[in-house]
Amino acid sequence: MKRGIIFLMSLILLTSLASADIIINQQPKEIYNLGDIIEIPATIKATTNIEGSFQMDLICNGPIINFYKNGVKLSVGEEKKFDSSVVLTKDTIGTIKGKCKIKASLAGEFVLTNEFRISDNLKINLNMEKTEFNPGTSVFVEGSAVKENQEEVEGFIEIEFLSIKVTNQTSNQTTSTTSLVLADAVSNGFFSVEIPLADDTEAGVHPMKIIVYEKDPNGEITNQESIEHSIRVLQLATSLEIIIENHDVEPGTSLRVKAILHDQTGEKIDSTAIITVKRNDNTILEQTEKSTDEWMELPVAYNEPPEQWKVVAVSNEFITEATFNIMEKKDVKVEILNNTLTLTNIGNVLYNDTILVKIGDESTDLNVSLEVDETKKYKLSAPEGEYKVELIAGGESRITQNVFLTGKAIDIKEASNAAIRIIRHPFVWVFITAILGFVAFIVFKKGYKRSFFGYMHLGNKGKIKPMPLKKNSLINSGNKALLSLSIKGDKQNASIVCLKIKNLKEIESAKSNAEEKLQEIVDSAEENKAATYESQDSIFFILAPIKTKTFHNEKTAIEIAQKIRAILTEHNKLARQKIDFGISLNHGTIVAKQETDSLKFMSMGTLITTARKIAALSDNEIFLGEKFKARLESNVKTEKHIKDNVDFYTIKEIKDRDEHKDFIRNFLNRLEGEKNKK
């Protein structure tokens, strides 16, 4: 009985403590961004008569913020619904972020919602496939942005550059600052900002900071994110300058000239230039290919007449011209041998002057008139004895010498007059005739003959050996190519093989059969209709459709390259004097014209320059240029390499295609076999 009474009293007590049930009708989402609204509908069911205040509090890592409060008066069994919400703004929640819960409470009773997170983060997805731009073009920064709650951003984007030049499209004026901010809108989560680069934007990498953010109605930034990115502005050749060390060149010295290629900001660009020196009548004196900013020296003969010469430079489709002067030089060379004074005009103009001749204590004026390179001799005489002879020309002492002289008096006579007097004697003529007759007898007795073509000689098959490509060349070409500044011809795509001899000076000075091997290479390439162009330490084999009669010369180019490598590799195994070489294959556009004795061509763009650079990077291997690689794209798989800012490729794998498959497989097998032999 007692136990029943105690149980009943406990049940009544517990019922009186639980005055109401608080029910959360809708749990919050897992994540909210600033600016969102959290809606928390709730229902209160009265288990007793209750009267009090129902409130909602936001609890985040300690801080508690009350955002809803309402009075409640309910009888037993009654219920009431409440639609509470909180806007996540700084005015409401301040700077609170992170993990949170909402507490609903009434008359000592409370419940907590599930845990959720408040964030101000965004995610930026940048869509920029292109990262390199020419000055004067536009950069489009495009992409999308979403909040961490996966809702699209409606806000703004700012792009900060540390240093760049842009063009204002409205005023067409250039703006250049150390800190440039470009702003635009982000709508439906997408953004697109155009950055018009100025024509003189500096080449190089330009870092930029991309900031996307939203604002609340009060203008306060809510959600925000930033990422780092960069663009590269390319060097664009804009001008070609000729530098002449001295515009007034003295005969007997050297002209020093170089070409400098400038980019959009005036900085130097590493390239090559064809430099041509011409006389005033356009006669070409020298034509050579030099690296830009590298001096070319041209010796000027001592007797070159005074006139104006010009220099023409061609690089990257730019042509520029400059002039300089060959100075007037009046000079005479003085020599005394025994009693003969010899005067030679070593200037470049008529020497017409008076020379003071001192013999002992006496002085005599000698009027001299000499054409360029003309020599006159004079006999010095004086009463027998040794005299100090001094000649003064142009106010300068030219020679002082002790000379033993004989004669009746101090005198100077032109030697040619004395010779005329001797020739007038009949005995002299008889003597000269006898000498000439004796020489003629000896010559005809021995059957002396001299070939008219003294500089030519016959090869093993009786053919005339072709002339060398250039002075001091190690090779001869029967199908040579000549680089021309400007020609009218056919514009066509050509494949080229570049062989760079890295130790050419050693080969030239050494006694070896290296020249024979190089000649063997040239002969082999020309059998495949290649034209040979030699420039400094490089030999180019040009396969142009105008000669090969086909537009597909890649296979032939690879065969030539492989043959070159095989010949030189075999040579280096046996010879003491090794040949250090590199081989490259490239493809590009030339303007070509076939003439009787040669193929004249003009390279477009950087075809020759790129081939030379890639060959210089090769260590007895075969490297491919970008455009040549593109021609083989469907047949082989290549691997890209970058060295010294130069892109090149090597062949790694053959794709499964019938066309050229056997050839390329054999090519790779030979390469691998030669590597194993080393």
CB 543 within 8 A of CB 530: yes
Residue 162 pLDDT > 90, yes or no?
A: no
What whole-number distance in Å separates Cα of residue 592 and Cα of residue 483? 10
3-state class (DSSP) for residue 363? strand
Structure tokens that stand for 597 in this block: 């004795």
What whole-number distance in Å separates Cα of residue 609 and Cα of residue 269? 13
Which one-letter amino acid corresponds to residue 108? G
> Per-residue pLDDT averaged across 521-525, rounded?
92
Structure tokens that stand for 364 in this block: 């005599």
pLDDT tens, residue by residue, 635-646? 777 888 998 888
Q: Are strands 132-133 and 221-233 parallel, antiparallel or unpaired?
A: parallel
Question: What is the overall mean pLDDT for the chain?
Answer: 83
Which of 74-88, 392-406, 458-472, 509-523 shows the lowest per-residue confidence on average (mean pLDDT)? Answer: 458-472
> Per-residue pLDDT averaged across 480-508, rounded?
86
Residue 17 pLDDT > 50, yes or no?
A: no
pLDDT at res. 28: 94
What whole-number distance in Å separates Cα of residue 571 and Cα of residue 573? 5
pLDDT at res. 470: 47
> Per-residue pLDDT averaged across 525-551, rounded?
91
Residue 204 pLDDT > 80, yes or no?
A: yes
Pick the CATH number of 122-233 from 2.60.40.1930, 1.20.1070.10, 3.40.1010.10, 2.40.30.10: 2.60.40.1930
First to last CA, the chain: 110
* Residue 467 pLDDT grade (very low, low, confident, very high; cuts 50, 70, 90): very low
What whole-number distance in Å separates Cα of residue 577 and Cα of residue 507? 7
Structure tokens that stand for 629 in this block: 């690689």
Domains 19-119 and 481-677 share a fold: no
CB 225 within 8 A of CB 122: yes
What whole-number distance in Å separates Cα of residue 161 and Cα of residue 367? 78
DSSP symbols for 380-443: EE-SSEEEEEEEEETTEEEEEEEEEE-SSS-EEEEHHHHHHHHHTSHHHHHHHHHHHHHHHHHH
CB 350 within 8 A of CB 384: no
Residue 16 pLDDT > 70, yes or no?
A: no
- Can you name the CATH fold of 239-326? Immunoglobulin-like (2.60.40)
Secondary structure string (H, E, C) spanning 559-594:
HHHHHHHHHHHHHHHHCCCCCCEEEEEEEEEEEEEE
Which of 311-315, 408-412, 522-526 shows the lowest per-residue confidence on average (mean pLDDT)? Answer: 408-412
What whole-number distance in Å separates Cα of residue 522 and Cα of residue 532? 7
Beta bridge partners of residue 156, listed in sequence order: 185, 213
pLDDT at res. 670: 57
Domain ranges of the chain: 19-119, 122-233, 239-326, 332-423, 481-677
Q: Are strands 180-186 and 155-161 parallel, antiparallel or unpaired?
A: antiparallel
- Can you name the CATH fold of 19-119? Immunoglobulin-like (2.60.40)
3-state class (DSSP) for residue 453? coil
CB 417 within 8 A of CB 378: no
Residue 485 pLDDT > 60, yes or no?
A: yes
pLDDT at res. 275: 93
What whole-number distance in Å separates Cα of residue 599 and Cα of residue 487? 11
pLDDT at res. 471: 45
Q: What is the DSSP letter of 466?
A: P
pLDDT tens, residue by residue, 304-353? 999 999 999 999 889 999 999 999 999 999 999 988 999 999 999 999 99
pLDDT tens, residue by residue, 94-142? 888 899 999 999 888 899 999 999 999 999 999 988 889 999 898 889 9
pLDDT tens, residue by residue, 260-311? 999 988 899 999 999 999 998 888 888 999 999 999 999 999 999 999 999 9
CB 624 within 8 A of CB 591: no
Q: Residue 233's Cα: distance from chain center in Å? A: 13
What whole-number distance in Å separates Cα of residue 188 and Cα of residue 178? 32
- Number of neighbours of residue 333 by Cβ within 10 angstroms: 14
CATH code of the region 332-423 = 2.60.40
Structure tokens that stand for 165 in this block: 């030049």
Which one-letter amino acid corresponds to residue 560? I
CATH code of the region 481-677 = 3.30.70.1230
DSSP symbols for 54-80: EEEEEEESS-EEEEEEEEEEE-TT-EE
Q: Which residue has the higher pLDDT, 137 or 513?
A: 137
Beta bridge partners of residue 643, listed in sequence order: 646
Q: Which residue has the higher pLDDT, 487 or 374?
A: 374
Q: What is the DSSP letter of 29?
A: P
pLDDT tens, residue by residue, 438-454? 666 664 554 433 332 33
Sheet holding 411-414, edge to edge: 332-337, 340-345, 375-381, 411-414
What whole-number distance in Å separates Cα of residue 660 and Cα of residue 634? 10
Positions of E strands within 444-530: 481-483, 490-501
Exposed (0-12), middle (13-18) or buried (19+): which is 541, by Cβ within 10 Å? buried
Question: Which distant-in-sequence residues (6+ apart) come within 8 Å of 380 by Cβ?
Answer: 336, 339, 340, 341, 357, 359, 389, 403, 405, 411, 412
Residue 1 pLDDT > 70, yes or no?
A: no
Q: Among 216, 266, 259, which residue's Cα sits nearest to residue 240? A: 259
Question: Which distant-in-sequence residues (6+ apart) come within 8 Å of 157 by Cβ?
Answer: 145, 183, 184, 185, 186, 191, 193, 210, 211, 212
Which one-letter amino acid corresponds to residue 621? E
What whole-number distance in Å separates Cα of residue 545 and Cα of residue 553? 8
In 488-553, which ranges are continuous DSSP H helix? 504-509, 514-527, 545-548
Q: Among 20, 26, 48, 50, which residue's Cα sits nearest to residue 39? A: 26
pLDDT at res. 196: 87
Q: Which residue has the higher pLDDT, 76 or 436?
A: 76
What whole-number distance in Å separates Cα of residue 607 and Cα of residue 568? 25
Structure tokens that stand for 246 in this block: 């001295």
Q: Among 220, 224, 219, which residue's Cα sits nearest to residue 94? A: 220
Find the length of the chain: 678
pLDDT at res. 97: 87
Angle between helices 426-445 and 415-423 (to 10 degrees): 80
Q: Residue 332's Cα: distance from chain center in Å? A: 50
pLDDT at res. 96: 87
pLDDT at res. 465: 42
Secondary structure string (H, E, C) spanning 255-316:
EEEEEEEECCCCCEECCEEEEEEECCCCCEEEEEEEECCCCEEEECCCCCCCCEEEEEEEEC
